[in-house]
Amino acid sequence: MSLLNETHNPALRSWVASANADGSDFPIQNLPFGVFRRYGSAEAFRVGVAIGDQILDLSAAHAHNLFTNGAKQATLACCAPNLNAFMALGSQAWAALRLALSRALREGYTLQSALSTCLVPQVDAEFAVPAQIGDYTDFYTSVHHATNVGKLFRPDNPLMPNYKWLPIGYHGRSSSIGISGQAFHRPVSQTMAPGATEPTLTASKRMDYELELGVYMGTANALGEPVALDEAEDHVFGLCLFNDWSARDIQGWEYQPLGPFLSKNFASTVSPWIVTLEALSPYRQPWTRPSDDPQPLPYLDSATLRSSGAIDIELEVFIQSAAMREQGLPEHRLSRSNFRHAYWTVSQMVAHHTVNGCNLQPGDLLGSGTQSGPTLEEAGALIELSVGASRSLALPSGESRTFLEDGDTVTFRGACEKPGAARIGFGEVSGTLLPARALV
């Protein structure tokens, strides 16, 4: 697990003035990675680092020969249309480049004039999914979400017997993962209406979002070689915001016996920036398991996990309907939660995923599953907030929602913040539901 070092010093200030502004998601203590080009241009997508309201173009910085040693090798790997080659270099290279960037972006840097030519305003950029995602696994790490949803279907026994023993997951679809701003059509598939004797092919009537974090893998493990729990985070490049859109009525009909399929594979949306685990070090917290719950098997437990396995990341969900946009109304917050409530941690997800010898690759994505807190106001999905559509949520426009309507835009934001540490933000991820296409 990452240790604190000079890059976390909250007193550091950047010569990029916007990075020093109160409330900035991207101060010099953060330095997340993404892939961008100038909006509307024919330029190649390339790797950049967010600093304030700017992007540092790493290909341009490499061309200026501004870095040396390990950082120089790392910037060479970043001269690519995605982050996979850099991810594959491992945690020492990631840390070396982050340290070099921190020093180069601090006030007083002697080569500031040269590096300043490598900046691109974020408002002038468009983004791509930052890595080529070979495989995607979605987990189910919030016991509160699992319990809330389970109660809707199994009131007397909401959790399946294996939930508290292992991190539940399923293999998802990577090809339909898009970048923030993704707009997609309401999915069509079979559903079984209550009381019906046979299913029909129809557009989903119960569209939902899922408030998740995405976990990007870095260095690979060889096929057949498990990753030990205390080594797991050395293989993790960083985290992003992630919306794993869900069609609940399609899911309810198809998920037995093999789990989600068409209810999940039509769209998932990631935020542009990947925040490194190193940047999140000041926000580590002890991870605990209730004493009356089963304690993890030895391969999923350690003293390091117990002392610092949880991460304090505040998460928020906002909605803006088409009518709200037409009326000039701002987005409306639906809920707020925190990743520290997760029942299973990042390292436990990786350790369990590989305990059978499964080989994870650079750029592979793990979804955390919906992150809900212990109260209803902290629910990370509409199926929970509306208690299975039994209660409506009022919007400022006079509309109400139990599930999403066509034209709704959903936005997630996330940040870490506490006294004595720099704010570490994730930016945002947004997506818009379009009407269904004509039925086939």
| Catalytic residue ranges | 145
257 upstream amide cis, omega within 30 of 0: yes
**DSSP-derived 3-state class of residue 172:** coil
Beta strands (DSSP E) in 100-199 are: 119-121, 125-128, 136-139, 169-171, 177-179, 182-185, 188-191
Among 404, 406, 434, which residue's Cα sits nearest to residue 317?
404
**DSSP-derived 3-state class of residue 94:** helix
Contact, 247 vs 187, CB < 8 A?
Answer: yes
**DSSP-derived 3-state class of residue 304:** helix
152 token code pair: 């809707």
Radius of gyration of the chain (CA): 22
What is the 8-class DSSP label of residue 279? Answer: T
**DSSP-derived 3-state class of residue 361:** coil
Q: Which residues contact 230 (CB under 8 A, 6 or more apart)?
A: 1, 302, 304, 305, 347
Q: At what angle do helices 69-77 and 91-104 cross, to 10 degrees?
A: 100
Query: CB under 8 Å, gap of 24 or more: what pairs does 402-405 form?
Result: 403/205, 403/206, 403/207, 403/208, 403/248, 404/207, 404/208, 404/209, 404/433, 405/321, 405/322, 405/433
What percent of the chain is helix, strand and coil (3-state, nearest 5)?
A: 25, 25, 50
73 token code pair: 């090798």
Q: In which residue are the tokens 């490598």 written? A: 118
If residue 392 lies in a helix (H) or strand (E), which one and from where to where? none
329 token code pair: 């109304």
Q: In which residue are the tokens 């030519």 written? A: 117
If residue 352 lies in a helix (H) or strand (E), which one and from where to where? helix 346-354
234 token code pair: 């050395």
